[in-house]
């Protein structure tokens, strides 16, 4: 099988790099599947999961939005934050989810930044969705 090189990079440094057969994730415009030789493109991403397939193996990386750049032999994902499945702290994500939910409940009463709380909730739910798929 042909492969394509994928890097996930954040301001703190590289998070993931591998040669894979397929990359799939959610762009703002909808689900994206990238195979080797894909036409060059740039797309903004949603808070979501990047799935990286290689044979029967699949790696999952949580990304908090950002951009995906495709060249024929390379995919680069630039994200504000990103974590490989094994690096996700489930307790931390659960606490972040509860905090964000509490802020959203208080949103009308106080001057809570609704959008910010909503995005924090999305990031936490996204991380937890990967934790649920971990193989023990
Ligand atoms: P928190 O409120 O727990 O910090 P957050 O969604 O606000 O969550 P981010 O701003 O997206 O966090 O990320 C800040 C840094 O912390 C990044 O380096 C990110 O990879 C890391 N990080 C955030 N949550 C987790 C988690 N549950 N497990 C591992 N790393 C995390």
**104 and 72, same structural domain?**
no
89 pocket-lining for ligand 1 (C-beta < 6 Å): yes
State the DSSP string of 44-110.
EEEEEEEEEEETTEEEEEEEEEEEEEEETTEEEEE-SSEEEGGG--HHHHHHHHHHHHHHHHHTTTT
Mutation choice for ligand 1 from 47, 63, 93, 94, CB with most ligand atoms inside 8 A: 93
pTM of the model: 0.94
Number of domains in the chain: 2
- Using the structure block, give the residue that is written with the tokens 């495709």: 70
Specify whether the CB–CB gap between 82 and 67 falls below 8 A.
no
Residue whose Cα lies nearest atom 4 of ligand 1: it is 96
**51 and 80, same structural domain?**
yes
- Measured distance CA(81)–CA(15) in Å, rounded: 9
pLDDT tens, N- to C-terminus, the chain (136 residues): 899 999 999 999 999 999 999 999 999 999 999 999 999 999 999 999 999 999 999 999 999 999 999 998 899 999 999 999 999 999 999 999 999 999 998 877 677 788 899 999 999 999 999 999 986 5
**93 and 47, same structural domain?**
no
- For residue 36, give both structure tokens: 């080797």
Rg (CA), the chain: 16
Q: DSSP code of 38?
A: P
**122 and 94, same structural domain?**
yes
- For residue 41, give both structure tokens: 């493109």
**59 and 97, same structural domain?**
no
**95 and 79, same structural domain?**
no
**38 and 27, same structural domain?**
yes
């Amino acid at each position: 099988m042909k492969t394509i090189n994928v890097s996930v990079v954040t301001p703190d440094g590289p998070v993931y790099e591998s040669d894979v057969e397929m990359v799939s994730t959610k762009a703002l415009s909808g689900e994206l599947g990238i195979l080797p030789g894909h036409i060059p493109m740039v797309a903004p991403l949603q808070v979501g999961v990047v799935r990286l397939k290689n044979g029967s193996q699949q790696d999952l990386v949580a990304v908090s939005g950002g951009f995906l750049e495709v060249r024929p032999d390379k995919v680069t994902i630039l994200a504000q934050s990103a974590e490989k499945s094994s690096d996700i702290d489930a307790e931390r994500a659960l606490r972040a989810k509860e905090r964000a939910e509490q802020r959203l409940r208080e949103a009308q009463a106080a001057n809570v930044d609704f959008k910010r709380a909503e995005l924090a909730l999305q990031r936490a739910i996204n991380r937890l969705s990967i934790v649920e798929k971990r193989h023990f």
